[in-house]
């Protein structure tokens, strides 16, 4: 009963903060399906022909994200991590620690940190950020195989494979309820991105982690788009895996209006409540996954998009990839955006997980 009252109080407290801004585009939206367009210094729409041209479009996409998500915090928010270990379990091949770290002033984030027994100061190993799917009962435990459905325990499987892994909790799920408004966040999405960036800071601080090739990011469902969002804002993520994580916002649930009200779908407090401003005009959302895939180039991206996923449409995923591929070609990264379509539902099968892990081996173990 107390937990329910707490959630209700937090929601009411945050509503004025989250709903006070109505978003209107100041300039016409560039075609999200044509990434070879950009606005020059005078505001004139031009054709992208060089990587420098693309940088200008890329910056406009990120500004569009911040219009909806709120701004990415500045480095003044990178306070000392002050890691606290709450629990430590030694398993056959790695040690699992339940920790909290100071992600910002007045904010501590829970996470599971797994360190292989083979890792040491003299034998540093690469690391992967492991972002869990939606689960309001056990939260980030899912990524460790400690609850929830099978096929989501990639943090544990990657630790078995020799990677240091960290799996932060996601805001407003299970036992993690930061006061977003008080902390200065207008969306749970940006809070999660910031928590993830700070988790990468934590990995970089460990004397057992080899950061020379960057870090990987992997996630299923909620974790699938969380991995993409984080990679956009943190260039230290050099290999990205998204499983069942997205389709175009314009195709989400076939553009049904019912999922674009405040508190529904993408418009929930833990995601991006400002998205509800675009109900009935989805074409005006100032960023889309067509563009986010392009923003991640030239980094390698592996996408698991099952044929029978009821959350996200695989055909829409293909359209997003088709729009992004010209940017990969522009940046000499042709073939680094891979879309896989297993014949299953909203799941992350063994075969696809192994392909994801092979990507990390190729990029991070050079």
CA distance linking residue 257 with residue 265, whole number of Å:
10
Nearest to 144 by CA among 107, 101, 91: 91
Q: Mean pLDDT over residues 352-362, rounded? A: 98
Average the pLDDT over 64-80 and give the result: 97
Q: Average pLDDT, whole number, for the chain? A: 93
Min mean pLDDT across 10-24, 203-217, 345-359 is at: 10-24
- Contact yes or no for 2/9 (Cβ under 8 A): no
> Does residue 271 have a pLDDT over 90?
yes
Element (H, E) at 84: strand 84-90
Residues 339-346 have a mean pLDDT of 97
In order of 105, 123, 155, 194, 283, the CA distances from 75 in angstroms are 12, 30, 28, 11, 33
Q: For 235-252, what is the mean pLDDT?
A: 97
Check if the beta carbon of residue 290 is closer than 8 Å to that of residue 319: yes
Measured between alpha carbons, how far is 291 from 227 in angstroms, rounded to an integer?
15
Radius of gyration of the chain (CA): 20
Verdict on whether the full-model pTM lies above 0.85: yes
- d(CA 145, CA 137) in angstroms, rounded, equals 13
Is pLDDT at 22 greater than 50 in this prediction? no
Residues 142-162, mean pLDDT to the nearest whole number: 94
Is it the case that residue 5 has pLDDT exceeding 60? no
Give yes or no for residue 12 having a pLDDT over 80. Answer: no
Q: Which domains does the chain have, with CATH numbers?
A: 37-69 (no CATH), 75-365 (3.40.50.1820)
- Residues above pLDDT 70, as percent of the chain: 93
pLDDT above 90: residue 10:
no
Q: What average pLDDT does the segment 201-226 reach?
A: 98
Phi, psi torsion values for 166, nearest 5 degrees:
-135, 135
Looking at residue 13, its pLDDT comes to: 37
> Token pair of 109, please?
């984030």
Q: What is the model's pLDDT at position 26?
A: 58
Answer yes or no: is pLDDT of 319 > 60.
yes
**In the structure, what pLDDT confidence band is assigned to residue 282 with cuts at 50, 70 and 90?**
very high
The confidence score (pLDDT) of residue 264 equals 96
3-state helix, strand, coil in the chain (%, to 5): 40, 20, 40
At 69, which helix (H) or strand (E)?
helix 51-69
Region of poorest pLDDT, from 11-25, 100-114, 266-280: 11-25
- The answer, yes or no, to whether residue 235 has pLDDT greater than 60, is yes
Digit-coded pLDDT (tens) for 288-316: 999 999 999 999 999 999 999 999 999 99
């Amino acid at each position: 009963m107390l937990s329910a009252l707490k959630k209700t109080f937090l929601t009411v407290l945050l509503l004025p903060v989250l709903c006070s801004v109505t978003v209107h585009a100041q300039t016409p939206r560039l075609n999200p399906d044509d990434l070879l367009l950009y606005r020059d210094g005078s505001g004139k729409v031009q054709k992208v022909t060089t990587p420098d041209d693309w940088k200008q479009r890329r910056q406009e996409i990120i500004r569009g994200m911040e219009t909806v998500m709120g701004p990415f915090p500045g480095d003044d928010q990178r306070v000392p991590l002050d890691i606290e270990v709450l629990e430590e379990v030694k398993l056959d091949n790695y040690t699992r620690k339940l920790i909290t770290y100071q992600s910002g002033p007045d904010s501590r984030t829970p996470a599971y940190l797994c360190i292989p027994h083979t890792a040491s100061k003299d034998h540093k190993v690469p690391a992967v950020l492991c972002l869990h799917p939606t689960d309001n009962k056990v939260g980030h435990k899912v990524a460790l195989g400690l609850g929830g459905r099978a096929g989501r325990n990639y943090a544990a499987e990657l630790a078995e494979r020799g990677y240091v892994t960290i799996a932060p909790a996601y805001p407003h799920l299970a036992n993690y309820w930061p006061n977003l408004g008080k902390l200065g966040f207008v969306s749970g999405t940006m809070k999660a991105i910031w928590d993830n960036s700070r988790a990468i800071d934590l990995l970089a601080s460990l004397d057992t982690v080899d950061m020379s090739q960057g870090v990987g990011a992997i996630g299923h469902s909620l974790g699938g788009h969380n991995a993409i969002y984080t990679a956009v804002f943190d260039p230290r993520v050099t290999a990205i895996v998204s499983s069942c994580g997205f389709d175009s916002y314009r195709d989400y649930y076939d553009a049904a209006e019912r999922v674009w009200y405040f508190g529904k779908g993408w418009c929930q407090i833990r995601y991006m409540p400002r998205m509800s401003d675009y109900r009935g005009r989805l074409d005006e959302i100032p960023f889309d996954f067509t563009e986010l895939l392009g923003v991640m180039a030239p980094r390698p991206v592996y996408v698991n998009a099952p044929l029978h996923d009821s959350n996200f449409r695989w055909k829409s995923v293909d359209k997003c990839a088709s729009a992004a591929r010209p940017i990969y070609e522009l940046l000499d990264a042709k073939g680094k955006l891979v879309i896989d379509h297993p014949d299953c539902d909203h799941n992350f099968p063994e075969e696809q997980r192994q392909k994801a892990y092979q990507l990390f081996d190729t990029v991070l173990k050079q």
